[in-house]
Structure 1
Amino acid sequence: MPTSYQAPRRSDSERSKEVSQSAASNLSAGTGKVKDIIRKKGDDVFSIRPQDTLGNAVQLLSEKRIGALIVADANGTLLGILSERDIVRKLAETPGRTLPQKVEEVMTANVEVCTRDEPLISVLRRMTEGRFRHMPVMEDNRLVGIVTIGDVVNHRLNELEFEALQLKQLIVG
């Protein structure tokens, strides 16, 4: 046996192992907050009154190229939300008689809301489980924005692209 040979020692297998990913890094979407989206997207929220017609709502949805409207009273108090999906269901129930109907007859009155400080992973989970795509953002009983499931997914994709770029730079040097 060569004199430079050294038998493996117990301490050799106890070396700390470094990994590129961990549970914490894979769940980094959990660190994102609703305020991150509102900061980029802005706090514009389009609303309609409960007494307005679905025809008015459809026109506003089309003009603004959005998928839902907040239903609010004259004081801006949140009363409900009206989505494209709500309108489509009503169209199926009352073909040819839908557009003159009032928003308050079709809107979803029991609205899930979030705050700016809520983690995005929590908002995404609630949207997925509740099968809805729009969530008003409230602070001190005041509407301060709206987030969509698309906003949340897009935010996470941007985070993943940034992480991938950082890894490439780390590898390349």
Structure 2
Amino acid sequence: MPASYQPETRGDGDEQKSVSQSLETNLKAAETTVRHILDQKGGEVISIRPDATIGAAVELLRDRKIGAVVVTDESGALTGILSERDIVRRLADTPGQTLPQTVAELMTPDPQTCAPDESLVRLLRRMTDGRFRHMPVVEEGAMIGMVSIGDVVNFRLTALEYEALQLKQLIVG
């Protein structure tokens, strides 16, 4: 008999078990949406103006520890997105001359967006097919968050860990 096995005794199961996760908080991959990620990470949107310099954008990315920033006009409307990848490409094209350039010169105009009710499976497919790692989340014309491919992967890994735990509990009993 394994040393870790302990037979049930009278009174076992009388105490309440605590559960850190439940079926309600861990949905199947096909049912999870962008909103589930935003509920966990929050909806803060970091933005920059198109007339800001790339130097200012680089500092913002570094200080906020993010890989992309949305570009908004004076009214807060989405006009583009600027990623680390955009900056690196321009650094290669214009060495020593990139930081004074404006965000408008490097940004991707009119970026794709997603809705909070979009499934994570569909979002991941769109991001993979489009070869981009960040997507603004828009609801009723207003930005309510930003989702990265890392957010999607992390959410799915957490769900897989929970599924593995459930299987272990089924096996052990």
Normalization by structure 2: what TM-score? 0.83
What is the aligned-residue identity percentage? 60
Q: CA offsets, 1:76-130, max 9 Å, x none?
A: 1000000000000010110000000000000000301001100000000000000
Paired position in structure 2 for 1:116:
116
- Contact 2:136/2:146 (8 A) holds in 1: yes
* Cα distance in 2 between the residues matched to 1:48 and 1:30: 34
- Give the greater-gyration-radius structure (CA): 1
Paired position in structure 1 for 2:153:
153
SS of structure 2 residue aligned to 1:159: helix
Paired position in structure 2 for 1:23:
none
* Cα distance in 2 between the residues matched to 1:29 and 1:90: 37
- Contact 2:78/2:110 (8 A) holds in 1: no
Per-residue deviation, 1:162? 0.3
Greater share of residues in helix: 1
Paired position in structure 1 for 2:139:
139
Instruction: For 2:89, give the aligned amino acid.
Output: R
Instruction: For 2:171, give the aligned amino acid.
Output: I
Per-residue deviation, 1:132? 0.2
Per-residue deviation, 1:40? 0.2
* Cα distance in 2 between the residues matched to 1:147 and 1:135: 5
SS of structure 2 residue aligned to 1:90: helix
SS of structure 2 residue aligned to 1:160: helix
Paired position in structure 1 for 2:99:
99
Q: CA RMSD in A?
A: 0.6
* Cα distance in 1 between the residues matched to 2:138 and 2:38: 12
SS of structure 1 residue aligned to 2:44: coil
Unaligned runs of 5+ residues in structure 1 are 1-27
Per-residue deviation, 1:147? 0.3
Paired position in structure 2 for 1:45:
45
* Cα distance in 1 between the residues matched to 2:53 and 2:103: 6
* Cα distance in 1 between the residues matched to 2:110 and 2:142: 16
Instruction: For 1:164, give the aligned amino acid.
Output: A
The within-5 A match list for 1:73-84 is: 73-84=73-84
SS of structure 2 residue aligned to 1:143: strand
Instruction: For 2:163, give the aligned amino acid.
Output: E
Per-residue deviation, 1:31? 1.2
SS of structure 1 residue aligned to 2:115: coil
Paired position in structure 2 for 1:62:
62
Q: CA offsets, 1:2-38, max 9 Å, x none?
A: xxxxxxxxxxxxxxxxxxxxxxxxxx42211000000
Paired position in structure 2 for 1:25:
none
